[in-house]
Amino acid sequence: MCGIRVVVAAFAATVLAVGCGGAGAQSETVEGKIQATTTTTHVTDLVRSVGGDEVEVTALMGPGVDPHLYEASQGDISALRDADVVFYHGMFLEGRLAEILERVEQQNPAVQVTEGLPEARLLASEDYEGQADPHVWFDPELWEMTVDPVVEQLSELKPESAEVFERNGEAYREEIRASDAYVRERIEEIPEENRVLVTAHDAFGYFGETYGVEVRALQGISTESEAGAGDVRALAEELARDRVPALFTESSIPQRNIEAVQAAAQDRGWDLRIGGELYADAMGDPETEAGTYPGMMRANADTMAEALG
C-alpha cells in the first residue's frame, strides 16, 4: 500500500506541475460557468446548492464511497488540475488525498470549507492526537458555517453572479435549519432510555452532542484500521448487558462487522436487531431523499426513530 501511495503522489506531482505558472494560486474571474471540482458528497451538495446554474460541478466521490480510504485516479488528478476552483472538506477526512490537495492549493484556487470553524466547537479525535473529529456536518450549526467560504470564493471568481450565490447560500441555510428541526422532533419520539446510537465507526459524535444521543461505535473516527475480534466481542457484551435494542450499518462501510456484533450479542442471549442503514461519510444516491444534506439528515432521523422508538 505504501508503494501505491508513493506512485500516486509522484504521478500527481507530475500532472499538476504541467502548466504551473507560479508558486501560489491566484483567483481570476471566469466567463461562463465556473468549473468546480469537489471531493466528498457533502461538499458536492454544498457547492451545487450555492452555485446553482452558475457552476458546473465535477465530484470525485459518489454515494457509498469512504473518503477516509479514497485514492485518486488519473481522471481525478485531471479534474483537480483543470478546475477553476477546488472545494474540499479537510480536517484529514480525505486522508489519502491530503498530499495531492496540498499541491493543488499551490496552483489553483482551493477552498477547505471547514477551515474557519471555531476550534472551541470541535470535538477531539480519539484516533489522532492533536486533530479534531472531521464529521462536523452532524452539527447543523457548524455545517451552516461552511456556506460562507463557498459564497465568497464563487463570488470572487464571478462577481456579476455574487447576488445569486448569496441568495442560494441563504436558501441552503434555511434548508439546514428546517432539517435540524425535523431531526429534533424525530429524536424526541425515541424513549430516553433507547437513545443509544450504535454504528460501524465513530462518525456520529457531533450528532450525539447536538441531539442528546449516546453514541457507541465498533471502529474509531477513521476507518483505516479494521476492528478486531476482541472489539466485536467487547461491544457485543456491552450491548447485551445494556439491552440496547438496535445497531446500525453505514452506507460507506461493509456491514459484515456489524453483523458479527449482532451474532455475538445473540450468542449472549440478546436479540439485537440491525435497525437499518445510516448515511455518515457519504450521502445517498442523488435521485433519493438522502442524496442531499438536508434529506440525508431527515432519512437518518427516520431510520433511528423507527428502530429505537
What tens digit of pLDDT does each residue of 228-260 get?
889 999 999 999 999 999 999 999 999 999 999
Classify burial at 32, counting beta carbons within 10 Å of its beta carbon; exposed 0-12, middle 13-18, buried 19 or more. exposed
- Using 50, 70 and 90 to split pLDDT, how confident is the model at 20? very low
Mean predicted confidence (pLDDT) in 54-60: 98
pLDDT in tens, 183-223: 999 999 999 999 999 999 999 999 999 999 999 999 888 76
pLDDT band at 127 (very low <50, low <70, confident <90, very high): confident
Q: How confident is the model at residue 15 (pLDDT cuts 50, 70, 90)?
A: very low
280 vs 202: CA distance, rounded Å: 10
**pLDDT of res. 3:** 41
Give the per-residue pLDDT at 172: 98
- What gap in Å lies between CA 61 and CA 56, rounded to an integer? 15
pLDDT of residue 10: 45
pLDDT at 107: 85
pTM greater than 0.85 (yes/no): yes
The answer to whether the beta carbons of residues 214 and 208 sit under 8 Å apart is yes
Q: Which ranges of 29-161 would DSSP assign to H, the alpha helix?
A: 41-51, 74-82, 98-105, 140-144, 147-157
What number is the average pLDDT over the span 75-93?
A: 96
pLDDT band, residue 26 (cuts 50/70/90): low
Distance CA 269, CA 287 (A): 40
Between CA 201 and CA 279 the distance in angstroms is 12
The answer to whether the beta carbons of residues 284 and 299 sit under 8 Å apart is yes
Instruction: Give 22's pLDDT tier (boundaries 50, 70, 90).
Output: very low
Per-residue pLDDT band for 16 (boundaries 50, 70, 90) equals low
Enter the C-alpha cell of residue 142.
457548524
9: which residues sit within 8 A by CB, 6+ positions away?
A: 99, 100
Question: Can you give the pLDDT at residue 2?
Answer: 42
State the chain's mean pLDDT as an integer. 90
Sheet-wide strand order for 110-112: 55-59, 34-38, 85-88, 110-112
Q: What is the mean pLDDT of residues 72-85?
A: 95
The pLDDT-based confidence of 175 (bands split at 50, 70, 90) is very high
CA distance 112 to 105: 10
Residue 29 pLDDT: 86
Find out whether 86 and 111 touch, Cβ atoms under 8 Å: yes
Domains assigned to the chain:
2-161 (3.40.50.1980), 181-308 (3.40.50.1980)
